[in-house]
Amino acid sequence: MQLDTSDLLDRFLRYVRIDTRSNDQSADTPSTPGQWDLLRLLATELQALGLADVSLTEHGYLLATLPATSPKPVPTIAWFAHVDTAPNLPGLAKPLVHRAYAGQPIVLPDDPTQQLTLDTTPFLRDCLGHDIITASGTTLLGSDDKSGVAVIMNAVRHLLAHPEIPHGRIRICFNPDEEIARGMAKINLDQLDADFGYTLDGSSPGEIDGETFSADAAVLEIHGVASHPGWAKDVMVNAARLAGRFLAALPPELSPERTAGLAGFIHPVECAAFAEVARVRMILRDFELAGLAAKRAVVERIVADLRAAEPRARLDLTFTEQYRNMRYWLEQDMRPVEFAREAIRRAGLIPKSTAIRGGTDGSNLTARGLPTPNLFCGMHEVHSPREWVSLQDMAKAVETLLHLAQVWHERSA
């Protein structure tokens, strides 16, 4: 299959130069104006390609339709990628292309302490001879998920250029705010109008994810008793100290630093503490709902102990559901997973099904009735200045999408 990898590279380099990191402190959707910049650019590009029904909703969901070329009824599939990047680092990348990588250390020039080597970055061994793309050392590259965006755009361009390839109707959706767990919060599934979906938000070639964490967020607000410190004896209740006691009581064996595989965790992500009031934000993760409930119980027990130890303080604990393991729904209809495996094999790869220690927009979509597993698009070392991607791996993701469209055509009545 002859792909235009120069178009794929040009698109990716263009997209990562736009700072689209999301902001969980914003109430807007999208949460940052940079996401609008990329969404409007993509809308213009989709229109230039000639896609039908290109629309950008008020909440930043860019939708378009690739009309069917199959003469028979085929379920409508949707391809998703998110335009935002993680909030922890700037997203205004200065991308660097390391052509025909030969195994040497890759030193990122804006911060030479940031390096990629075969010893520290094992997946590089699979990419000898590839064109490796990195940022310059002080920002994210944005491969999560602009690799997915570029892959979808290149696949759409190829299908439009080759109408002889039979496929059903395909819906395109680029969405905001996945990185702050709001990616599908305001999408209208009736407006999307698809039967099955795929997010392009995975890592190594051949990867297909049909199982994710189930996730809750938790917030503990501690209200102490204020007093002048000079006359505080037997009066003051220091909320900051109580927050420290709470954090110290969290079991270290349930931390992300101590867990792997199918083990979940309790992870404090933010603590703002003052003598009068303190606030601790956490995320809870587990692959099973029973395990997630057990982690809630751990947090509740620690808070109950603190209430008993200091009854003059007020401790308010709230939990919010974020997403659920997509496996619970996908195992009821495995066609989207099975067809993806076949497409991956046709692309010359070995399918690898994993339980990902995170979530995707597909977690929310699947729970809402749109079965949506996650496919690879080549990203590595995400959420770090060492983030990188192989152009050849992205091309394999494009090839997989093209085969996937044909598999749905072939397997439909």
User: Do 22 and 177 contact (CB within 8 A), yes or no?
Assistant: yes
Which residues are 134's β-sheet partners?
96, 388
Candidate list 177, 178, 216, 286, residue with the active-site label: 178
Task: Check if 84 is active-site.
Answer: yes
Catalytic residue of the set 84, 131, 177, 387: 84
Angle at 154 between CA 356 and CA 212, to 5 degrees: 10
Give the separation between CA 55 and CA 312, rounded to whole angstroms.
55
| Residues 6 or more apart in contact with residue 153 via CB below 8 angstroms | 11, 42, 45, 46
CA distance readout (Å), 91 to 18, 86, 200, 362: 7, 8, 19, 23
DSSP state, residue 181? T
315, 218 in Cβ contact below 8 A? no
**Cβ-contact 226, 327 below 8 angstroms:** no
For helices 5-16 and 33-49, angle between their N-to-C axes, nearest 10 degrees? 160
Alpha-carbon distance of 407 to 208, in angstroms, equals 16
Whether residue 194 contacts residue 76, with contact meaning beta carbons closer than 8 Å, is answered with: yes
* Helix (H), strand (E) at residue 319: strand 314-323
What is the pairing mode between strands 207-212 and 62-66? unpaired
Catalytic residues: 84, 178
